[in-house]
Amino acid sequence: MNTWSLSRLLEGLHDDIQQRLKISSNSLIHPVTKGDASERVWLTLLQNYLPQRYQAETAHVVDSKGNFSQQIDVVIFDRQYSPFIFKFEGQTIIPAESVYAVFESKQTLNAEHVAYAQEKAASVRRLHRTSLPIPYAQGTYPAKPLIPILGGLLTFKSDWTPAFGDPLKKALTKGDANSRLDLGCVAAEGHFIFDQPSERYLFTDAGKPATAFLFNLISLLQFSGTVPMIDVQAYAKWLTAN
């Protein structure tokens, strides 16, 4: 009699992601079309498997001072407590307070793409975020501290051999705290995560990288807590701006 197997289920999830990324890489010719397809693969994974309090979209991020991030391939954001998300003709704008994580999606892992992902993450982390005190029946809780916004890079394969050698380690350590990449996945090779206690990167080049990345991300989101209470009036002032 056939029985369920958790290991086979998790293996199948990774294999599906890797195969879809491989098809995008090998079958599509136009670079933009190829990039859009791989981006959709990662978005679909996150939309299907993250808890429903989180959503994932390609988007720009805006703050209450009117500053915008660059376009971000994958933004993971809150929809339980966030009061508004602007959508128009395929464009999504998300308030900075709602963001949990941002990822750049590329076909390959290399120094240029690491630097590009770092730049994208920094463009979001530099935005201003509000946080209001939270009223409750007996009084008011103090304003919640801002949660750290996670940053990362998602690819199908690596231009480096081995994928997780010194060139990647050197590329990841460039930049400041705003540009740090907290985790990433190379679906055909492995995954990496920044370990806060030791302040160093941990690399895994075996197993089922896409599934492992998903579990690492969910774990980090669990410890991030909930986004702060947004000051809607700070955004409302733009209603009267010229």
Nearest alpha carbon to residue 62 among 132, 124, 151, 155 = 124
Q: Are 77 and 100 in contact (CB under 8 A)?
A: yes
- Whose CA is closest to 217, among 31, 62, 51, 23? 51
**Bridge partners, 157 (sequence order):** 108
104, 120, 157, 189: which one is catalytic? Answer: 104
Look up 195 and say whether it is catalytic: no
Given 39, 63, 73, 78, the catalytic residue:
73
Query: Which residue, among 242, 51, 224, 238, has the nearest Cα to 151 in the 3D structure?
Result: 224
Would you call 73 a catalytic residue per the annotation? yes
Catalytic-labelled residue, pool 106, 120, 157, 208: 106
Is residue 106 annotated as a catalytic residue, yes or no?
Answer: yes
Q: Taking phi first (over 0 means left), then psi (-120 to 50 degrees means alpha), and beta for anything else, what does residue 137 get? A: alpha
> Which residues are catalytic, by number?
73, 104, 106
